[in-house]
Amino acid sequence: MTNFKADTDWLNWHKAPSKPSYVPPKGAVDAHCHVFGPGDQFPFAPERKYTPCDASKKQLWQLRDFLRFSRNVIVQATCHGADNSALVDALESSRGMARGVATVKASVTDEELQELHDAGVRGVRFNFVKRLVDSLPFDDLRQIATRIKALGWHIVIYFESEDLPELYDFFTSLPTTLVVDHMGRPDVSKSVDGPEFALFIKLLSENPNIWSKVSCPERLSLDGPSGYQDVIPFARKIVESFPDRVLWGTDWPHPNMKSHMPNDGHLVDIIPQIAVTESLQHQLLIDNPMRLYWGV
Ligand code: 0GY
């Protein structure tokens, strides 16, 4: 049995989140969350850049129920590399209430892709955040993109906003639906109407196949945990500009949060500030994720 020790600066996830005042519409989907290990059952990848604490499927289902959500989209985290076993185990025990986004290498076989599909995987993640991974060459990513397109999957992309100009043409050349993690990580000290965020808005405006998650105010805010008000205008602008191409997620168990650990109940309470009408909330939490991940 392997015994992994979480990094010493690792903040554990919130064990007693507050009950949100905001009640999501029945059937709501948490479209960005992870499972970690448990490390003695599903070992973390040798090439990982961090070692988290365990965050099991059972704990994820408990959080889902506590927040009054119904479904999850579990995204493969870099600490598990391209070994999707923990993700598949969670999907298989979810009774169809979870879908997954996997990480694969170009060497993945058709059989392995089909197994992932049967377990509930509907996308792959291409990660360009340098502190998290050594990303694969574009040629490998293009090859993977073509193969997963045949399965009807999409690609989740994760990058820092300062890298968008360099990655822009690659993204627009990809053949599937793309979902951008965490709004492309805008620098929220800059104006929501400034040139940097304008490039992100242009990416979505000119490419109807590109979606965005309006997630992770806790990662982007410069204000700390006091309501994440500096992030709201960015999320709200995306929701109002592209209401049928947005997703929301908790990001539980919040990997690599070093400044503070968010209270998941507070994160849910922010939803009505970024999707200000019932109709926008319904699209964000139900219609869009159900179409993309459950095909309905
Ligand atoms: C997130 C964000 C982060 C980590 C990962 O796969 C990961 O390790 O995604 C991060 O450190 O910003 O979405 O969980």
**Each residue of 74-94: pLDDT tens digit?**
999 999 999 999 999 999 999
Q: Which two tokens stand for residue 103?
A: 């990480």
Report CA Rg, the chain: 18
Give, using CA atoms, the residue closest to atom 13 of ligand 1: 251
Distance 189 CA to ligand 1 centre (A): 21
Q: How far is the C-alpha of 240 from the C-alpha of 269, rounded, in Å?
A: 18
9 has a pLDDT exceeding 90: no
Distance 34 CA to ligand 1 centre (A): 9
199 has a pLDDT exceeding 80: yes
Q: How far is the C-alpha of 162 from the C-alpha of 184, rounded, in Å?
A: 9
- Ligand 1 atom having least distance to the Cα of 219: 12
Query: DSSP per residue over 67-122, as a string?
Result: TT--EEEEEPPGGGTT--HHHHHHHHTTTTSEEEEE---TT--HHHHHHHHHHTEE
- Ligand 1 atom having least distance to the Cα of 49: 8
Pick the CATH number of 29-294 from 3.60.110.10, 3.20.20.140, 3.20.20.540, 3.60.21.10: 3.20.20.140
Give, using CA atoms, the residue closest to atom 9 of ligand 1: 77
Q: What is the pTM of this model?
A: 0.97
Distance 193 CA to ligand 1 centre (A): 26
Which of 32, 34, 267, when mutated, tests ligand 1's pocket best, judged by the most ligand atoms within 8 Å of its CB?
A: 34
Task: Tell me what the mean pLDDT of segment 14-37 comes to.
Answer: 97
| pLDDT tens readout for residues 57-68 | 999 999 999 999
Q: What is the per-residue burial (b if ≥16 Cβ within 10 Å, else e) of 10-32?
A: bbebbeebeebeeebeeebbbbb
Dihedral sign, Cα of residue 211, residue 256, residue 73, residue 91: positive
Enzyme catalytic residues? 251
- Ligand 1 atom having least distance to the Cα of 181: 13
| pLDDT tens readout for residues 90-148 | 999 999 999 999 999 999 999 999 999 999 999 999 999 999 998 889 999 999 999 99
**Mean pLDDT score of the chain, rounded to an integer?**
96
Q: What percent of the chain has pLDDT over 70?
A: 99
Q: How far is the C-alpha of 68 from the C-alpha of 245, rounded, in Å?
A: 23
Three-class SS state of 259: coil
Q: What percent of the chain has pLDDT over 90?
A: 94
* Residues whose beta carbon lies within 6 Å of some atom of ligand 1: 77-79, 132, 181, 219, 251, 255-256
Q: Which residue has the tokens 């493969």?
A: 76
Mode of pairing for the β-strands spanning 29-33 and 154-158: unpaired
